[in-house]
Amino acid sequence: RLHNSYDDLLLLKNARELKIQYGEGSGTAVYNNFMYYNVYNSRDMGKLDLNTNKLAVRKTLPNAAYGNRFSYAGVGWQDMDFVVNESGLWVIYSTEDNTGNIMISKLNETTLDVLHTWNTRQYKPSISNAFIICGVLYATRPVNTRKEEIFYTYNTDTEQEGKISIIMDKMLETIQSINYNPSDRVLYVYNDGYLVKYNLIFQPMLH
């Protein structure tokens, strides 16, 4: 369902509805009028043209696990989690070779070819969800039913992982999706039926 503006979304009006067939899981992302998703029962990625509702590109993500093999802790079938920012498209997933740990691939948004891949040592099914800001992947885990912790980072520039602890309040227990939007610097979180916004403040790291 596509709304013309964020206000329309909040008021549940002015929506255009498209039905896509053969998509799997909730790791989709929309970017430049295309929607990226995991094609049903395959390790293929789909790029759907939202103007025409036609599949523009279908491409295999090499070795990707699929079919609810290594989803996140709080949500099934999110084998592929697509991430966008102003300058690109990424996918967070896992493979048998990397024993279920998180893999990150940067994609060519035109062709869906893999441009670069990073292997992490963080087991994907043990985290609630993940998002990427400025080339750094952040992973979260529950602290209790009302608090979530951003606890793990992987920097694709330095290929280093790190530990942090940023506690976030949540409405209910389970997080199904987290996405960062660089244009408004907001984290959009889907939490048991609530769409929750978190405004982010960035500050330099002091060593």
Ligand X SMILES: *[C@@H]1O[C@H](CO)[C@@H](O)[C@H](O)[C@H]1NC(C)=O
Residues in contact with ligand X by CB under 6 A are 85-88, 106, 108, 110-111, 115, 133-135, 182
Q: Which helix (H) or strand (E) holds 111?
A: none
Question: Which is closer to ligand X, CB of 162 or CB of 182?
Answer: 182
Question: Which is closer to ligand X, CB of 22 or CB of 31?
Answer: 31
Q: Name the minimum Å distance from CB 65 to ligand X.
A: 24
140 neighbors 148 (Cβ within 8 angstroms) = yes
Give strand ranges (E) for the chain. 2-3, 15-16, 23-31, 34-39, 44-49, 54-60, 81-85, 88-94, 101-107, 114-123, 129-133, 136-142, 147-155, 160-169, 175-181, 186-191, 194-199
In three-state secondary structure terms, 32 is: coil
For residue 181, what are the CA distances in angstroms to 158, 184, 197?
23, 6, 10
Contacts of 97 (CB under 8 A, 6+ apart): 63
Q: Name the minimum Å distance from CB 26 to ligand X.
A: 22
Q: Name the minimum Å distance from CB 106 to ligand X.
A: 6
Q: Name the minimum Å distance from CB 185 to ligand X.
A: 9
Q: Name the minimum Å distance from CB 129 to ligand X.
A: 17
Q: Name the minimum Å distance from CB 59 to ligand X.
A: 11
188 neighbors 194 (Cβ within 8 angstroms) = no
Residue 170 in tokens: 């949540």
